[in-house]
Amino acid sequence: MGDADVKDVFELFDRDADGKISVTDVPLVIRSIGGNPTNAELKEWMNELDIKGNNVDLSTFKKLVDKAIANWRGEDVITSAFKQFDKQSTGSVSVEEMRTILTTMGETLSTEEVEAMIEEADPSKSGRINYNDYAKLLSDKPLSNK
């Protein structure tokens, strides 16, 4: 979810166009974009971001969205997906396997996007991708363009 998408969702809930949404609307807004955090997770994230008062601005909301997306895109989910292709349980997949997966399954990616992902996943150009390390890298990476 890019900045423009986050901004569009935010503006839908910014009823008086003052650049803020109510803290009480945050769970609904996060859930409207597909997240399903618990109230405890939301409270934890809001504490981490030191949110005070009754409103959240767009910048803070983007940080909350990053946390929500990272939560449903966590390491375990990514690792689980890769394990489906690791028939020998080595903890890695070949670059060719990853290329095939990225070009034939799910959302179609351009050659440039695939090559960028492979370069990031196999920086040493060994031909193998340690998917535990790659999952950690992906789950630590913010999603919205700040």
Query: Does the pLDDT value for residue 145 go beyond 50?
Result: no
Q: Residue 64: its pLDDT value, please?
A: 87
Taking the C-alpha atoms of residue 95 and residue 115, their distance in angstroms, rounded to an integer, is 10
Q: Which residues contact 32 (CB under 8 A, 6 or more apart)?
A: 9
Question: What's the length of the chain?
Answer: 146
Average pLDDT over residues 1-10: 80
Query: Does the pLDDT value for residue 106 go beyond 60?
Result: yes
pTM for the model = 0.50
The residue whose two tokens read 């290329």 is 99
CB atoms within 10 A of CB 11: 13
The C-alpha angle with vertex 69 and arms to 83 and 63, in degrees rounded to 5, equals: 145
